[in-house]
Amino acid sequence: MTKMLKNYAADAWGAASGGLQPVRSAVNGEVVAQTGSQGLDFKGMLEHARGVGGPALRAMTFHARARMIKALAEVIMARKEELYALSASTGATRTDGWIDIEGGAGTLFTMSSKGRRELPDDVVLVDGELEPIGKRGTFVGQHVYTSLQGVAVHINAFNFPVWGMLEKLGPTLLAGVPAIVKPASATGYVTEAAFRILIEAGVLPPGALQLIVGQVGDLLDHLTCQDVVSFTGSAETALKLQSHPAIGREGVRFIAERDSLNATLLAPDAGPGTPEFDLFVREVASEMTIKAGQKCTAIRRALVPAAHIQAAEDAIKARLAKVVVGDPAIEGVTMGALASLGQLKDVREKARQLSADARLVFGDIDHVDARMGEGGEGAFISPLLFRADTPWTSERVHDVEAFGPVSTLMPYRDLDDAIALANRGKGSLVLSAFTYDPATARRLILGAAAFHGRIVLIDRDCARESTGHGSPLPMLVHGGPGRAGGGEEMGGVRGVKHYMQRSALQGSPRTLSAIVNRWLPGAPQPIGEAHPFRQRFGELDVGYTLKTPARTVTLEDIEHFAAFTGDTFYAHMDEEAAAANPFFPGRVAHGYLILSFAAGLFVDPAPGPVLANYGLDALRFLKPLSPGEAIRVELTVKDKTARNPEYGEVRWAVKVLSAADETVATYDLLTMNAL
């Protein structure tokens, strides 16, 4: 049945006013959808996002946005079968669909949990520590991130219609920025269905998301400095969009994820008979066939020591011989179709270009024995393995991306030669290496990391848990230099920052502290009647401080502590040896004794809102404490993060001072406090 795709503009669904384009099934060529965006008010969509969606999202804290993203992931999972059903027409097997659909939801789940664990329950993100500027500490610097006030325009490739949308939406929404999604036309019907599920979840504020199923009209003409274009697709389209006058003129952020001649490397230590050799063979074959090789991260070049190239070729061919190409709906099929007949034509053409520089050792460019259902024409192709025996004189194998099940095997002389060949792709998304020798791995990283966005080192110890060469992960950056586009996506909270502006704030600690909602050194430290441990989470103000009385640390205390804990290190026990040490004037108190006495000074013992001490951060012992010296403590509420409806985390700045007001120790104490 043909589906009439709709655009979603200004919180309403609407079909194009004309100019519809048919989209065909990859499996049998039947028209599955009509797509188009004629008649859309593109400028109005941008204005709606900026005027309605942006303010609503920015009014939510990172934690509220993270909870919303989790709800979106849940609804995709709850309705995943609807998406699997559509995904089959794109030529995807169930496994391919799993990567796209459940992988997409998983990416949102990860972003949500990172947002709640690593970002504040606030709208301003502090970047790094306070920078002291003035000598007296009254003028300081602090970097912060705030949300961009524009729109994220996401232009996606056809290969992962669900994941491609969700991996960009997670960081964008977490940053508090509305998005306009424009999927690739060939598989946009799957994206449209997933997008509809997101809207029907009812958790997004108005204006947060809009969808264009067709051309982008004059959208780019109206972009401003607060907007971001995040593009995934071919280098050719990226160049066209990047040179759009408005993008240059307005300084619009442009993130490009382009094609990439990714390489894998069988290291010199990993010859036939080693586990790494078998792992390499398996990885090359599966990277060629998952998603019929239509992955920007797929292995396009496999580098093998010259002595082992025949063994590698034979082993990979043996695996490829087991691949069953055909309609993914048919039992036993292990590799589906390319996304369209257009793609099939393109891949064949690129494979012919490769054959001018390399020998085809497996497969047939023009014929495949595909298992098919009734009638029609599907975009099927066999896996194609090439071999280039003179890789330094074969230009195309390092330059032509056939976006299908196509890889080229090539020999190298030594590790330096392999590194130089890997880097000849002029910048890639991912490089993998199969080695059990850490020294080889380090040499590889030093020689190649600058050219590759992600490097996977696979050996017998990690293979079982390895996520493989081709899987970008939400907590790691995805993107690469040069040919790969120079962009970076995901990487946990790093990806969120692509949709925020970093500003360097300068001012007094009091002002900056109020802006970031965190006590900064030099900001006021009000002291009240109530002990801070008697105040509930909601009652504690940032900056609220307890100053304790002093306590003298005696030699007897030190000896008692040493005997009690067993820590009889000479610096605490032996006057002469301690004095000979460059750090100590003689015997000194244990650092842990100072911490324990500090707790004894600031703790309020009776049951109350403080539920648990769960750790210390950034502990430093700054001045040794001699027997007979006194210490006192300043305990200040540094910041607070609600964790759940019952309790929240309080971060306390603790300063231990000597009688002469020298800082003996500083640290952050973390407690869980009842709301």
Which residue out of 102, 192, 296, 489 is catalytically annotated? 296
Stretch that binds ligand NAP, among 68-76, 256-264, 576-584, 626-634 (CB under 6 A): 256-264
192 forms part of the interface with ligand NAP (CB under 6 A): no
Coarse DSSP helix, strand, coil percentages of the chain, rounded to the nearest 5 percent: 35, 25, 40
* Region class of 402: left (phi > 0), else alpha (psi between -120 and 50), else beta: beta
Binding residues for ligand NAP restricted to 450-509, rule: CB under 6 A: 484-485
Shortest Å distance, C-beta 307 to ligand NAP = 32
Q: Does 157 bind ligand NAP (CB under 6 A)?
A: yes
Residue nearest to ligand NAP (CB): 233
Candidate residues 227, 257, 357, 629; the one interacting with ligand NAP per rule CB under 6 A: 257
Rule CB under 6 A: say whether 259 interacts with ligand NAP. yes
Q: How far apart are CA 283 and CA 279, in angstroms?
A: 6
> What's the angle, vertex CA 172, arms to CA 170 and CA 176, rounded to 5?
115
CB of 402 to ligand NAP, least distance (A): 10
Question: Does residue 647 touch ligand NAP according to CB under 6 A?
Answer: no
At residue 284, the 3 state secondary structure works out as: helix
Q: How far is CA 538 from CA 22, 34, 498, 583, in A?
A: 58, 54, 32, 43
Compute the distance between CA of residue 160 and CA of residue 83 in angstroms, rounded to an integer. 12
Distance of closest approach, residue 451 Cβ to ligand NAP, in angstroms: 15
For position 401 contacting ligand NAP by CB under 6 A, the verdict is: yes
Choice between 34 and 185, CB closer to ligand NAP: 185
Return d(Cα 28, Cα 10) in angstroms, integer: 36
* 651 token code pair: 């971060």
Strands 428-434 and 452-458: parallel
Q: Near ligand NAP by CB under 6 A, which window of 67-75, 142-150, 227-235, 667-675?
A: 227-235
Cβ–Cβ < 8 Å for 509, 597? no
Examine residue 159 and tell whether it contacts ligand NAP (CB under 6 A).
Answer: yes
**Residue 579 CB neighbours (<10 A):** 12
User: Quick check: 195 binds ligand NAP (CB under 6 A)?
Assistant: no
Name every residue whose Cβ is closer than 8 Å to that of residue 353 and which is 6 or more positions away in sequence.
396, 400, 402
Is the separation of the CB atoms in 610 and 640 below 8 Å? no
Shortest reach from residue 547's CB to ligand NAP, in Å:
55
Mind spelling out the 3-state secondary structure of 245-258?
A: HHHHHHCCEEEEEC
Nearer to ligand NAP, 313 or 401 (CB): 401
345 lies in the binding site for ligand NAP (CB under 6 A): no
Q: Per CB under 6 A, does 590 bind ligand NAP?
A: no
Residue 69, judged by CB atoms within 10 A of its CB (0-12, 13-18, 19+), counts as buried
CB of 168 to ligand NAP, least distance (A): 10
- Closest distance to ligand NAP from the beta carbon of 199 (Å): 20
Asked whether position 237 contacts ligand NAP by CB under 6 A, the answer is yes
User: What's the one-letter identity of residue 108?
Assistant: L
240 binds ligand NAP (CB under 6 A): yes
Given candidates 429, 558, 593, 637, which one binds ligand NAP under the rule CB under 6 A? Answer: 429
Q: How far apart are CA 315 and CA 562, in angstroms?
A: 64
Q: Which candidate in 192, 257, 489, 634 is catalytic?
A: 257
Site for ligand NAP in 347-386 (CB under 6 A): none
Distance in Å, CB of 665 to ligand NAP, minimum: 47
* DSSP H or E segment with residue 455: strand 452-458
| Cα radius of gyration (the chain) | 30
Check residue 291 for interaction with ligand NAP (CB under 6 A).
no
Taking the complex as a whole, the smallest distance from the CB of residue 401 to ligand NAP amounts, in Å, to 6
* Whether 296 is catalytic: yes
Give whichever of 384 and 633 is closer to ligand NAP, judged by the CB atom.
384
Give Dmax (Cα) for the chain: 94
Question: Which residues form the interface with ligand NAP (CB under 6 A)?
Answer: 155-159, 182-186, 216, 232-234, 237, 240-241, 257-259, 296, 401, 403, 429, 484-485
Catalytic positions:
257, 296
